[in-house]
Structure 1
């Protein structure tokens, strides 16, 4: 029996759809979820006028179905996507004794107010007070913290791991990752590792982001990373277009169920969305925010090699494609290094053109798009790349491209020198398209 790691369940809540099928239909139709940011005053900011926002009707439904007293919006989003993924994987039919399970998740600061200055100020003040009192001696720090009640802003009050364990009805091995925008792919890699080493029978991967505040916008604005586009908001995120001015941040969430093919078959699931072939991960200390061609090339080559494949086996690339001046051209140059002359004919998709950038959640959400690309045989368009940048010279399309896709290479990179790339294979028995009714 195959020991392949397969994706058997998927769920998303995004600016272009609150479920997988709506999300996919929006991608193929080129429907944007990027709108004008009207929830806060942005008049004093040089950028950040647009955002990828979850539609009001989806937001209300998610809050009604998955909200709970004291539960943050980020955790609520993850609960919504996990429920979709569990139903898709038919895990409700799994005996509780068939555990333990792994829970690998990534989300932004979990304080009571989200990414607001007071969260960080209180945290830094607490660290300074501790250092002034006991210095850096580990034993002294432990004695200082023992019995000390930490401020709310410095504690992770989330009950998410316990709630998922109760939902699954089995012991859960929880792993929370902090890897900025590469966190989604790193979470998938960690889940696959736990499955391969026998630490868990199946794994739930989830990620969410919701941090659109004046403070966050000003942070990204100071980095000159946000789009300064003043035209149609739907055009603001334009990966690989020569007019691109920066990324658009969004709120979104995604979830996956991973298991070995043997475990899935044992419970009667013989069709899956994708096979996790291999991955490449790296951390670079050369620069906090600027990506390097060499590192992107390295993780892509590693992902392909770990999958036992060659560059010519890749049929399409689901790019990181943030729409920033530096990231897009750097990723494109790395693609040219790995694929050489094939790059001119290699279809490239960029989900962020329609959704904006969802930090760690983007890796999970875009993995869903990668899986559907293989199962449905369609490469999504990049509808905002109407004036392709010659400095990038990658092949994007304004309309869906129907073609057999055996393998997808998915890229995610992040601030702090985080790099990740993952190779996905089309399953021998792919999951068929959902038929309503």
Structure 2
């Protein structure tokens, strides 16, 4: 017997909202979270001036709720979204059975995430070099004597903290699948749940990586937006003017369980059903997506979900706003849906949030689930001059229509590909959960 896997809890922190309810409203109204990156001097870079930065009021709220001595910012984001998802699902510890934790954490490591952290780290390296030179033993002794300041460490107690919170053993898996990591985490969670080894699973992904080093690396790849107009317009998936992606800081979390397990807990309504998925690793090119592989993972998701192309009502696209990715994804969609592409509404969340690496797959799955429950496809307000070479159907206004299935795509550097079919549950959650996050 194949157990049906459902989403019972969701949480997000993004540049345009601090929890699920305002995030959904932001998607429907076209509220952007993109702004000029004023925290550091980027005048020497040919791009990257715009970023998806979490506003100060949301940041202060997250820090107040989840901040701890020595806890890095990205872990605060992870905890904030997991807290919301667990409350949304009505999950409290201790649990009777082991739980799963599938997580991805994109963090520049000891260099820190915020520009000031990065500068402090580089100064520390320079001072150490000046004092001990290339003497490895002396360098190690100095490092032991002067541990890294709080917030600069790449060490994470996140899995331990979640296990302690739930008072239950965890089956944990740290995922590294670049921008496909979040969606791959959902697939791995579903596998564990269907195996019967765990009772429920948490999928969480967080990213915070805005510093000079990261931006310069993306700039060398010519992957970042070179838009010099209004910052909220900088990420424009499927628009003929698109010039690159905008990176952000964000996090998302989902609680998944089998439908039987949810019913046993007394859960009456759920957000979505995980229908099926397609996964692939293609090593033919580090950064350039291949249309054949994009097509293959989407067809794989359809087959696994026992769905036909005509069953798909809308596509929640990867939609990075890069020249190559958007047209590759669009052409693969045309191969699968052919003439139906004229009637399939396409959503591209990164138009408002920017690109959150692995976190984007989780955050955008929240939008996919809400689309299923509410029967509304969010607009792509930055696609005001649609690229005829992409030829996908986006809208400048929310589209109200019955939605039974959503095809969700996530692709990443290193040849990582993931696609998933979400289905509308028989008992959809039609109203936002009353989850306090302040």
- What's the TM-score once normalised by structure 2's chain length? 0.90
Tell me how far 1:43 sits from its aligned partner.
0.7
Cα distance in 2, alignment partners of residues 10 and 197 from structure 1 = 23
The equivalent of 2:411 in structure 1 is: 413
Tell me how far 1:266 sits from its aligned partner.
0.3
Cα distance in 2, alignment partners of residues 2 and 279 from structure 1 = 14
Change (3 A) 1:229 1:252: same
The equivalent of 1:35 in structure 2 is: 35
The equivalent of 1:343 in structure 2 is: 341
The equivalent of 2:68 in structure 1 is: 68
1:278 to 266, 276, 279: 276
Change (3 A) 1:230 1:342: same
Change (3 A) 1:97 1:396: closer
2:402 to 389, 396, 404: 404
Change (3 A) 1:435 1:78: closer
2:254 to 248, 256, 259: 256
CA contact (8 A) 1:5 1:192 kept: yes
CA contact (8 A) 1:110 1:157 kept: no
Change (3 A) 1:224 1:430: same
Matched, 1:57 2:37: no
Cα distance in 2, alignment partners of residues 253 and 156 from structure 1 = 17
The equivalent of 2:422 in structure 1 is: 424
Q: Secondary structure at the match of 2:214?
A: helix
Written as runs of structure 1 = structure 2, the 5 A alignment for 1:141-290 is 156-290=154-288
Tell me how far 1:270 sits from its aligned partner.
2.3
Cα distance in 1, alignment partners of residues 406 and 261 from structure 2 = 24
Cα distance in 1, alignment partners of residues 270 and 240 from structure 2 = 38
Cα distance in 2, alignment partners of residues 21 and 97 from structure 1 = 27
Point out where structure 2 has 5 or more consecutive residues left out of the alignment. Answer: 126-135, 137-143
Q: Deviations over 1:280-323 (max 9, x none)?
A: 00000100000010000000000011001101100000000000
Runs of 4+ off more than 6 Å: 151-155
Change (3 A) 1:71 1:184: same
Cα distance in 2, alignment partners of residues 197 and 281 from structure 1 = 19
- Count of paired positions: 410
The equivalent of 2:303 in structure 1 is: 305
The equivalent of 1:126 in structure 2 is: none
Change (3 A) 1:435 1:73: closer
Written as runs of structure 1 = structure 2, the 5 A alignment for 1:71-86 is 71-86=71-86
Matched, 1:91 2:99: no
Cα distance in 1, alignment partners of residues 349 and 47 from structure 2 = 21
The equivalent of 2:19 in structure 1 is: 19
Cα distance in 2, alignment partners of residues 49 and 256 from structure 1 = 31
CA contact (8 A) 1:78 1:208 kept: yes
Q: Secondary structure at the match of 2:263?
A: helix
Cα distance in 2, alignment partners of residues 256 and 61 from structure 1 = 20
Cα distance in 1, alignment partners of residues 108 and 254 from structure 2 = 21
- What's the TM-score once normalised by structure 1's chain length? 0.90
Tell me how far 1:55 sits from its aligned partner.
1.4
Cα distance in 1, alignment partners of residues 153 and 434 from structure 2 = 43
CA contact (8 A) 1:2 1:262 kept: no
2:385 to 380, 384, 387: 387
Tell me how far 1:110 sits from its aligned partner.
6.5
Cα distance in 2, alignment partners of residues 204 and 97 from structure 1 = 13
The equivalent of 1:322 in structure 2 is: 320
Q: Deviations over 1:35-93 (max 9, x none)?
A: 0110111111100000011111000010111011111111100000000000000002x
Change (3 A) 1:100 1:351: same
Change (3 A) 1:347 1:202: same
CA contact (8 A) 2:236 2:242 kept: yes
The equivalent of 1:139 in structure 2 is: none
Change (3 A) 1:165 1:110: farther
Point out where structure 1 has 5 or more consecutive residues left out of the alignment. Answer: 123-132, 134-148
Change (3 A) 1:97 1:213: closer
